[in-house]
Amino acid sequence: MKPVWIVDDDQGIRWVLEKALAKVSIVTRSFSNAKDVSYALKEEIPAALISDIRMPGMDGLTLLKEIKDKYPALPVIIMTAFSDLNSTVAAFQGGAFDYLAKPFEPKELVLRIEAILRRTLAMPQAASLSLGVCRFDVARGELSRDGEPLRLTEAEARLLKRLAANPHAPIDRLDLAQDAADPTGRAVDIQVTRLRRKIETDPKNPRYLQTVRGVGYMLAPD
């Protein structure tokens, strides 16, 4: 299972949460500031993220916005000592999964994290995805248009399956390149261009196989 990330400039709070989550066998990774989280997300996507609001440099709400712009499926719990209504509203409007006002019992956070992980693990993988007039059979790696099969190369099928495993979630271009043993990423770009010609009505203005600026690519089925 992927780790749960904790970001808070208070080392004591990080230690308490790490210890509480370790008791229920949840692996964690901690950060003292949001900027480090922003860099780390380019290499790995956690199972969930717990973030304080008030931190030096980038604050938690700014980090939340950045995450939701690039990784909308990533669950984020916001925690803060400032439990005013405006902060709560801002957190939920920004896409936070949950909100906790300090001080809180670590056990409460653990229960909420466990609920998130259960929900994530229980989410069924779609057998097939609708892409306009096209349909992609995820298990078989087969693409069709109006019921007629479209030929995919092995590399194209592998890339489409990787994107289909996390629909509506941007995947880092370098991660996709690593999967394809493509150190430059150029082969991935070429495969994306070819797939768009098969899937999109207007390949120059893609609707289903989208580029996420600064991150990589995302499959956005109907």
Per-residue pLDDT tens listing for the chain (222 residues): 689 999 999 999 999 999 999 999 999 999 999 999 998 988 888 889 999 998 999 999 999 988 887 777 788 999 987 666 677 788 888 888 888 888 889 999 999 898 888 876 655 556 789 999 999 998 788 999 999 999 999 889 989 988 987 788 788 888 788 766 677 778 899 999 999 999 999 999 999 999 988 888 999 998
- In this prediction the pTM is 0.58
The 10s digit of each residue's pLDDT in 87-146 is 778 888 888 888 888 888 999 999 989 888 887 665 555 678 999 999 999 878 899 999
Angle among Cα 42, 166, 176 to the nearest 5 degrees reads 45
Kindly list the domain boundaries of the chain, sorted by start residue: 4-122, 128-219
CATH topology of domain 4-122: Rossmann fold (3.40.50)
pLDDT score for 117? 83
Please identify, in words, the CATH class of the domain defined by 128-219: mainly alpha
The yes-or-no answer to whether 4-122 and 128-219 have a common fold is no
* DSSP code for 57: S
